[in-house]
Amino acid sequence: MYRPLLPLLALPLALAACGEGGVVDANLKSTLRQSLVASCTATAQGQIPEGVSVDVSKICECAADKVIADHSVQDLIANPPTPSEALDKVKACVSEIGPVSIAPPAE
């Protein structure tokens, strides 16, 4: 689910050693968030059944924010989120954002 993170993990350790909370961290978090959202959105697109309406972008953005909020940049680089952890965040966001709309069956 998060294969696009792999190139980010190749960043030099020197960047991770710059310390928590600086400009480098902000840029890395932004890049990680974009990657998480893109990966989540791409994965979800092919898995939503016909007739189900859900704002995939909103849910993926929420899940990415939750993953990033739970970890430091150094932790995210050293230990990227597992698919299980990511799915837990997606489920939490679906619950928070509201119900999924299901279209009535075609007659």
Q: What Å distances lie between residue 84 and 40, 52, 88, 95, CA to CA?
A: 13, 23, 6, 17
Give me the count of residues in the chain: 107
Q: What local confidence, expressed as pLDDT, does residue 15 receive? A: 46
User: What pLDDT does 100 receive?
Assistant: 67
| pTM for this prediction | 0.68
Beta carbons of 52 and 44 less than 8 angstroms apart = no
Assigned domain for 104 exists: no
In a domain, 106, yes or no: no
The tally of domains found in the chain comes to 1
pLDDT of residue 61: 94
- Whether 22 maps to a domain, the answer reads yes
Distance CA 16, CA 11 (A): 8
Residue 19 is predicted with a pLDDT of: 52
**Tens of pLDDT along the chain (107 residues)?**
444 444 444 444 444 444 555 777 888 889 889 988 998 899 888 788 888 788 889 999 999 999 999 888 888 888 888 888 888 998 899 888 876 666 665 65
**Domain range for 15:** 5-97
53 is a domain residue:
yes
How far does the chain reach from its first CA to its final CA, in angstroms? Answer: 36
107 occurs within a structural domain: no
